[in-house]
Amino acid sequence: MKMKWITTNAIVAALYIILGFLVQPLVFGAVQFRIPELFNHLIVFNKKFFWGIILGVFITNLFSPLGWYDLVFGVSQSVISMLIMFIVMHYLKGQVARMIANTLVFSLTMFIIAFELYLAFDLPFFASWLFASFGELTVMGIGIPIMYVLNKRMKLDSL
């Protein structure tokens, strides 16, 4: 069973990285539409997807033009958001409600990325937060029906 989860998380990380590289111009910078962020919804189905997502974020951020900033702030934003969601999920039932909450949590915590952009490029904090949050809200919002259908076909919640 342990090997199954290691393999599953390796696949999630690989998919995150591949999708990140395919849309690389949209992944980094002040206005981002990081398409692989839709994988963040996997934790709604099973908390064990945490490691695959974090590994995918980390490896993708190794190639960021922001360098170490993205390794520290980008990975931290993902970890903090998912930890918040682990708490929120105790109070919310239903996968769609949890994915909506997940979308909101990840979008709101984009202030961490806004702070990173402020430090790295001296970009205005609130404008960066607005643009980064908009991109996250858009990608993860579109990801809700995609992940819902994927779960119906692949039974992500019973892996």
List all residues 6 or more positions away from 20 whose beta carbon is below 8 Å from its beta carbon: 27, 34, 35, 36, 56, 60
- Band (pLDDT 50/70/90 cuts) for residue 65 is confident
Asked if residue 14 lies in contact with residue 56, where contact means CB atoms within 8 angstroms, the answer is yes
Question: Token pair 């970009």 is at which residue?
Answer: 123
pLDDT for res 41: 98
Model confidence band, residue 159 (pLDDT cutoffs 50, 70, 90): confident
The three-class DSSP label of residue 46 is coil
The more confident residue out of 109 and 28 is 109
Type and span of the H or E element at 57? helix 50-61
Q: What mean pLDDT comes out for the span 62-82?
A: 94
- What are the residues whose beta carbons fall under 8 Å from the beta carbon of 18, sequence distance 6 or more? none
- Domain residue ranges of the chain, discontinuous segments joined by +: 1-158
Q: What is the pLDDT of residues 9-22, one digit of tens each?
A: 999 999 999 999 98
Question: pTM for this structure?
Answer: 0.93
Q: What percent of the chain has pLDDT over 70?
A: 98
Q: Please, which pLDDT band fits residue 53 given cuts at 50, 70 and 90?
A: very high
CA atoms of 53 and 34, how far apart (whole Å): 13
Q: What is residue 37's DSSP assignment?
A: G
